[in-house]
Amino acid sequence: MSDAAGDGGTPGPYTLADWADLARAGMDPGVWDFCAGGAGEERTLAANVEAYDRVRFRPRVLTGVGRPDTTTRILGRRWAAPIGVAPLAYHTLADPAGEVATAGAAGRAGLPLVVSTFAGRTFEDIARVAAAPLWLQVYCFRDRDATRALVERAERAGFEALVLTADAPRLGRRLRDLRNGFRLPDGIVPANLTGAGFSSPVDHALAEFDAALDWGVVAWLGEISSLPVLVKGVLTPADARQAVAAGAAGIVVSNHGGRQLDAVPATLDVLPEIADAVRGACPVLVDGGVRRGSDVLAALALGADAVLLGRPVLHGLAVGGETGVERVLGTVVDELVETMTFTGTPSVDRAGPPLVGGPEEAG
Ligand code: FNR
């Protein structure tokens, strides 16, 4: 064992990086690459993580904080911490219980789960165990009837919001998958698309991405459901303003974890200008590269209301099923509490630019 652990120490997992190492060791290499990989040369994938690595806090001392309060309210609902689970296709690749296990863990942690259009378990099964908000991530297909059926099914199951993925006019060019000849293993299916008129759900659904979507789709989703619509995949202030103008109830600053267009900026780097453009008109969430609790606080300091966590959740699921996800989420929350305590941040709404070296607020 490492010196750091000392006699009788254990190798962890202590950090999300430890969970990633364990997951990699245990997973089928092709499945690992599908989950870990990005598009093109993976420059954006790396940039997301590097942007957080560059952050340095400017702690305030003797603030009398005591135990910081990590809770927040997003779209009227209380979250135990400003952390949700990002939409990830096919949790069943990591564990047969798939999204049902993830929802159980997220619910116990008091954190919301965004369920992918390509979930491996049915909305009804997921909703049965969920004890925190469920949102549906929507890929709007050319087949609007199939899209509508998906949305209606989620709304009937009790989902509370729609997250329109706007950065997928087509699927990114994922070189690891091409080189591996990756195909979904037998039995891994988009459980909520079967019966939606797709003959071969996987290939058909991917071929059905609508490359001609425009901002009118936000209004359309508002017409076919009563749920608030968030727009995921915003990377410019101009699009953030358009999203608000189109009626979005929130935006997710995202580059899809580096899986769509390579060489777009790290999400943390564009977050401040986007938060500025939105000016509190709606919640701003960010995802991509969050790997520690301190990353969560950095994102809040730079203008986010909450973050979404992607790949680390799959790592927990692959290594330890529902318990693994609970431990991954628990680790991030514990690290957030630690960072808030050390920096003298009493509550999540008190995190601002000075915390990461930005200008002091007037007064
Ligand atoms: C994703 N992501 C994603 N996004 C989406 O809108 N719908 C989806 O079905 C999926 N599926 C998916 C599968 C896998 C295996 C990964 C890794 C990612 C993107 C996801 O929601 C999120 O934007 C990123 O994963 C966040 O980055 P990190 O935390 O993984 O770095």
From the alpha carbon of 90, which atom of ligand 1 is closest? 13
Pocket test for ligand 1, best of 192, 251, 256 (most atoms within 8 A of CB): 256
Distance CA 124, CA 269 (A): 38
> Cα torsion for 52, 138, 85, 227, to the nearest 10°?
110
Q: Is 63 exposed, middle or buried (0-12, 13-18, 19+ CB in 10 A)?
A: middle
Cα 256 to ligand 1 centroid, rounded to whole Å: 5
46-62 mean pLDDT: 98
Three-class DSSP category at 350: helix
278-303 mean pLDDT: 98
Residue extents of the structural domains in the chain:
16-351
- Give me the chain's average pLDDT, please: 94
Closest residue by CA, ligand 1 atom 15: 35
Cα 179 to ligand 1 centroid, rounded to whole Å: 20
The ipTM value here is: 0.99
Three-class DSSP category at 3: coil
**Other CB atoms within 10 A of residue 20 CB:** 23
From the alpha carbon of 252, which atom of ligand 1 is closest? 23
Q: Does the bond joining 346 to the residue before it have cis omega, within 30 degrees of 0?
A: no
Q: What is the pTM of this model?
A: 0.96
Cα 122 to ligand 1 centroid, rounded to whole Å: 19
The pLDDT of residue 328 is: 98
Q: How many residues does the chain have?
A: 363
Cα 225 to ligand 1 centroid, rounded to whole Å: 24
Three-class DSSP category at 196: coil
Pocket test for ligand 1, best of 259, 290, 313 (most atoms within 8 A of CB): 259
Closest residue by CA, ligand 1 atom 5: 87
Tell which wins on pLDDT, 1 or 264.
Answer: 264
Chosen CATH of 16-351 out of 3.40.50.300, 3.20.20.70, 3.40.50.1400, 3.40.50.960: 3.20.20.70
Three-class DSSP category at 251: strand
Dump pLDDT digits (tens) for 209-232: 889 999 999 999 999 999 999 999
The pLDDT of residue 11 is: 80
The pLDDT of residue 53 is: 98
Cα 272 to ligand 1 centroid, rounded to whole Å: 22
Maximum separation of any 2 CA atoms in the chain, in Å:
64
Dump pLDDT digits (tens) for 328-357: 999 999 999 999 999 999 999 999 999 999
Contact present, 150 and 192 (Cβ < 8 Å): yes
State both tokens at 181. 């000849």
Q: Is 93 exposed, middle or buried (0-12, 13-18, 19+ CB in 10 A)?
A: buried
From the alpha carbon of 314, which atom of ligand 1 is closest? 15
Q: What are the DSSP calls for 262-308, one per residue?
A: TTPPPHHHHHHHHHHHHTTSS-EEEESS--SHHHHHHHHHTT-SEEE
- Told to judge if 204 belongs to the known catalytic residues of this protein, a careful annotator would answer no
The pLDDT-based confidence of 8 (bands split at 50, 70, 90) is: confident
91, 204, 256, 315: the active-site residue: 256
- The binding-site residues of ligand 1, defined as CB within 6 angstroms of any ligand atom, are 35, 48, 86-89, 116-118, 137, 165, 232, 254, 256-257, 259, 287-290, 309-311
Cα 7 to ligand 1 centroid, rounded to whole Å: 39
What does DSSP assign to residue 346? -
At residue 304, does pLDDT exceed 80? yes
Distance CA 359, CA 297 (A): 17
